[in-house]
Structure 1
Amino acid sequence: MSELVIETTGLRKEFRSRRGGLRVAVQGLDLAVPAGGVHGFLGPNGSGKTTTIRMLLGLARPTAGTMRLFGRPVPAQLPHVIGRVGAVVESPKFSPNFSGRRNLQLLAGAIGATPARVDHAIETVRLTGRDKDRYRSYSLGMKQRLAIAATLLKQPDLMILDEPTNGLDPAGIREIRETIRDLGSSGVTVLLSSHILAEVQQVCTSATIIGAGRLLASGTVDELLGSGSAYRLVAPDTAAAAEVLDRAGFVPSHVDGAVHVEADDPGELTRVLGEAGIWLTELAPLRADLESYFLELTEGEQLGEPTAAQRAGGAA
């Protein structure tokens, strides 16, 4: 079993409202983030993601439960592990009149990081060529990448990113997405907090889904969605393709100009059709998307009704 970089058990956070009432932001959360890759921390706004991150970083104290970073209990031993953690939770403050590189050099000097680390951080977040431009001329996406570069100066083993694409245009989102992929493949464990389901599905190897401060599901993306054995195929004559598959014992269906069919081996589909003189122009696996899965998990939650996961006996 992989080492757990982040582990929480029964984590709970309560807040007192101004009227004296009690609000529970996180309730009984069990979170397990394995070492390596990008782990999505997924949930709608207000689901408790940021509160959980703040507790892990020692910025808020839990009401109940336990937390561990790299196997060490936090916040008690946070000083022993915080040097291994980089986090972008809020927009950092940089000097607008200094270049991106100069801002990083000042930060590096403050923590004793070498000039080589500045170079490496700039290269990692793909700011080479723009690093000598003034910070105030940067787009929102570039500013966010500079924030990530600043945390890389300490060479963290764990990077925590809280909604890093908020407010970005499509180009900025793509830039951050590529940076996150690079970090995950470089050996850094990334905890990516997001409410954008497609974003998590595109960059994460595993994910935890929460709603109203509770764990709904956790596992690899393939485990959550299922590898599936259904395929979407397109041919010049989809009706003829469906007829051939039907005669061969498959159960095809017509969906939006394509044929959907289940098969243990996609090669068998191409063989059967090829022998009938039908050549495919498209063959792709069908699998659930995180949006559909998430909506199923949270069905009825806002009404206080049991979710689909609860009706089935609880989330994974």
Structure 2
Amino acid sequence: MPDLVIETTGLRKEFRTRRGGLRVAVDDLDLSVPAGGVHGFLGPNGSGKTTTIRMLLGLASATRGTMRLFGEPVPDRLPAVIDRVGAVVESPKFSPHFSGRQNLLLLARSIDAPASRVDAAVETVGLTGRDGDRYRSYSLGMKQRLAIAATLLKEPDLLILDEPTNGLDPAGIREIRETIRGLGAAGVTVLLSSHILAEVQQVCTSATIVGNGRLLASGNVDDLLDSGTAHRVVVPDVVAARTALEAAGLPATTEADGSLSVETDDPAAITRALAAGDLWLTELSPLRPDLESFFLRLTAADNLATSAREAR
């Protein structure tokens, strides 16, 4: 097993509601983040991502469960590892009248970091040439990159980013994406919390998907996408094939190109159902979903299961 930078076991967080009820924000979550690369922490808004991050950083207490950063139990041993962790969880406070560089220099002095780290951080996040501009003139994307630069002053081994592209325009999203990709390539482990799947797929090497506070899937991104059960079916008579498949308990969806999409973990069942109707395949191949499709299918199924439990 690879070295784990973040590990949680049975992590749970409960809140009391105003009406005296109980809300479970994180439900027995097992999270494993290997060292190196960019790990996506993915889930719909309200799925417990930020709450989990706050517990890891000692900003919220867990109801039960265990957490480790670099093998050290937290929050008990958090002071021993916190210097190895950088995080952008909430909007950082910078002086609007100072330049980006001046803000970073003030932060560097406060943690006894050499001024040379400011130059390195500015270059890493792509603010060279704009670091002399006042912070108040920065776009939202530039402000986010400055926030990341601030975390890099202590040269962290782990960088935690909570929804770093929220509110950004396409240009700002691209800038943050390139910054994150560069950090992962440079050896920093990045935990990227997000619900924007199209962006995440371009930078993440591994991912954990959560829904309603629970773990739904985790692993290498390519392995997750290869684990799907959808198949592309091409036949001369689409209408007859769809009827035969559905009669065999294999619901089929007609795609825009005239092919059929069939969900099953037994592709031989497709050939049997079609052969029974004297229908012959032109093509049968696995469909590899993109991360967004995989995510939506998982979370939709989880929402249905959650509704069913609550209705009992």
Fold match by TM threshold 0.5: yes
Q: How does 1:149-228 map to 2 (within 5 A)?
A: 149-226=149-226
User: Which residue in the other structure is 1:292 paired with?
Assistant: 293
Q: Take 2:110 and 2:287, find their aligned partners in 1: how far apart are those partners?
A: 51
Q: CA deviation at 1:255?
A: 6.8
Q: CA deviation at 1:83?
A: 0.4
Q: CA deviation at 1:164?
A: 0.1
Q: Take 2:169 and 2:26, find their aligned partners in 1: how far apart are those partners?
A: 31
Structure 1 counterpart of 2:220, one-letter code:
T
User: Which residue in the other structure is 1:104 paired with?
Assistant: 104
Unaligned 5+ runs, structure 2? 233-253, 261-285
Q: Take 1:80 and 1:112, find their aligned partners in 2: how far apart are those partners?
A: 17
Q: How does 1:1-316 map to 2 (within 5 A)?
A: 1-226=1-226, 287-303=288-304, 304=306
Task: From the superposition, tell whether residues 258 and 187 of structure 1 become closer, same or farther in structure 2 (CA, over 3 Å).
Answer: farther
Q: Take 1:62 and 1:255, find their aligned partners in 2: how far apart are those partners?
A: 46
Task: From the superposition, tell whether residues 126 and 227 of structure 1 become closer, same or farther in structure 2 (CA, over 3 Å).
Answer: farther
Task: From the superposition, tell whether residues 21 and 126 of structure 1 become closer, same or farther in structure 2 (CA, over 3 Å).
Answer: same
Q: Take 2:50 and 2:227, find their aligned partners in 1: how far apart are those partners?
A: 30
The percentage of counterpart residues that share the same residue type is 79
Q: Take 2:92 and 2:300, find their aligned partners in 1: how far apart are those partners?
A: 37
Task: Give the match's secondary structure for 2:28.
Answer: strand
Structure-1-length-normalised TM-score: 0.79
Q: Take 1:227 and 1:294, find their aligned partners in 2: how far apart are those partners?
A: 12
Structure 2 counterpart of 1:144, one-letter code:
Q
> What is the CA deviation profile of residues 97-119 of structure 1, one whole-angstrom value per residue up to 9, with x for unaligned ones?
11000000000011111111000
Q: CA deviation at 1:300?
A: 3.9
Do the aligned partners of 1:141 and 1:173 also contact (CA within 8 Å) in 2? yes
Unaligned 5+ runs, structure 1? 233-253, 261-284, 308-316
Structure 2 counterpart of 1:85, one-letter code:
V
Q: CA deviation at 1:286?
A: 6.2
Q: Take 1:259 and 1:118, find their aligned partners in 2: how far apart are those partners?
A: 55
Do the aligned partners of 1:14 and 1:63 also contact (CA within 8 Å) in 2? yes
Task: From the superposition, tell whether residues 19 and 287 of structure 1 become closer, same or farther in structure 2 (CA, over 3 Å).
Answer: same
> What is the CA deviation profile of residues 179-213 of structure 1, one whole-angstrom value per residue up to 9, with x for unaligned ones?
00000000000000001111211110000000000
Q: Take 1:171 and 1:69, find their aligned partners in 2: how far apart are those partners?
A: 33
User: Which residue in the other structure is 1:263 paired with?
Assistant: none
Q: CA deviation at 1:127?
A: 0.1
Do the aligned partners of 1:6 and 1:70 also contact (CA within 8 Å) in 2? yes
User: Which residue in the other structure is 2:282 paired with?
Assistant: none
User: Which residue in the other structure is 1:271 paired with?
Assistant: none
Do the aligned partners of 1:300 and 1:306 also contact (CA within 8 Å) in 2? no
Structure 2 counterpart of 1:147, one-letter code:
A
> What is the CA deviation profile of residues 132-154 of structure 1, one whole-angstrom value per residue up to 9, with x for unaligned ones?
00000000000000000000000
Structure-2-length-normalised TM-score: 0.80
Task: Give the match's secondary structure for 2:18.
Answer: coil
Structure 1 counterpart of 2:222, one-letter code:
D
Q: Take 1:150 and 1:89, find their aligned partners in 2: how far apart are those partners?
A: 13
Q: Which runs of 4+ in 1 moved over 6 A?
A: 257-260
> What is the CA deviation profile of residues 41-99 of structure 1, one whole-angstrom value per residue up to 9, with x for unaligned ones?
00000000000000000000000000000000000000000000000000100000110
Q: CA deviation at 1:298?
A: 2.0
